[in-house]
Structure 1
């Protein structure tokens, strides 16, 4: 497969909530519950295929309209010290249109006692034969998840 350079799309969003609370939402399966409650316009369903939210957990997100497409990912890093969660795409999204790798990382950065930054980074590589099409992961979906978590955290703080 030849070594491909990873491209990165990074976004940061400040949240008026402690980093510990934000991390509690992002680690394990908290985000899936939030997606099921708040993002029904984007996701038809979320399903844990394997695991309990720790490293090795595999989840499938099915997009609206029903059955149109889905994205399956595996949790690869869960670092409570650094507040970093990383997932690797297994199928769907960018992988379905020419990417060979898709990695999503969420990092919760403490700003002050009552505020934090949610940093989301999508790293991806494009297969050589698809370079001309320049496929990209759905950053809008990640942004919708982060915005929804910001609202949730600020309302509960």
Structure 2
């Protein structure tokens, strides 16, 4: 198995607890609402929302994949840490991945804001490779999702 890790950091004016609440804790409801072209629905298949929970994600029309399953590996609401892995879905078979893991952390940033840190870890079958183009595209997608959620939080301060 090959392993490739890709890192991304985003500075936000939104405090850590607010962006974590929106981007992680309320993502199942919020993402289909603000980016329905990407996310159609989230469904818990097993678990209680904490570590070990498995969710089915159905993608919207703007995504070339139809579905994925992801498993929550770690959720620490006090330290703003969230790890999950794609364990099933079109993207894994298309690119010959065993799984894709995400390790997210939100830290205090400048002027009361936050710093979002993400590591995406691609676990490939055999000696599989991950192209630089795909790494760049994935970072752009994560950045875009984060900014969409950040914009929603800023536009709805009473909810956060």
Which band: TM-score by shorter chain? 0.7 to 0.9
In structure 2, relative to structure 1, the CA distance for the partners of 1:123 and 1:143 (3 Å cut) is same
Between the aligned partners of 2:76 and 2:102, the Cα distance in structure 1 is 14
1:118 aligns with 2:130: no
Q: Offset at 1:153?
A: 2.4
* Contact 2:2–2:127 (Cα < 8 Å) also in 1: no
Q: Aligned to 1:128, what secondary structure does the other structure show?
A: coil
Of 51, 75, 95, 1:55 maps to 51
In structure 2, relative to structure 1, the CA distance for the partners of 1:130 and 1:8 (3 Å cut) is closer
Q: Aligned to 1:25, what secondary structure does the other structure show?
A: helix
Between the aligned partners of 1:50 and 1:143, the Cα distance in structure 2 is 29
Q: Aligned to 1:17, what secondary structure does the other structure show?
A: coil
Match of 2:96 in 1: 98
In structure 2, relative to structure 1, the CA distance for the partners of 1:100 and 1:17 (3 Å cut) is same
Of 17, 21, 26, 1:24 maps to 21
- Give the TM-score, by structure 2 length: 0.79
In structure 2, relative to structure 1, the CA distance for the partners of 1:81 and 1:43 (3 Å cut) is closer
* Contact 2:19–2:153 (Cα < 8 Å) also in 1: yes
Between the aligned partners of 2:110 and 2:102, the Cα distance in structure 1 is 25
- For residues 19-75 of structure 1, give each alpha carbon's deviation from its aligned partner in whole angstroms, at most 9, with x where no partner exists: 1212222444x1111111111111222222222321111111112239952111010
* Contact 2:13–2:111 (Cα < 8 Å) also in 1: no
Q: Which runs of 5+ in 2 are unaligned?
A: none
Q: Which runs of 5+ in 1 are unaligned?
A: none
- Give the TM-score, by structure 1 length: 0.80
- For residues 93-135 of structure 1, give each alpha carbon's deviation from its aligned partner in whole angstroms, at most 9, with x where no partner exists: 542220113101221011146200112221012112644x859
Between the aligned partners of 1:13 and 1:101, the Cα distance in structure 2 is 24
1:74 aligns with 2:71: yes
Aligned residues: 152
Q: Aligned to 1:6, what secondary structure does the other structure show?
A: strand
Between the aligned partners of 1:116 and 1:7, the Cα distance in structure 2 is 26
* Contact 2:16–2:106 (Cα < 8 Å) also in 1: yes
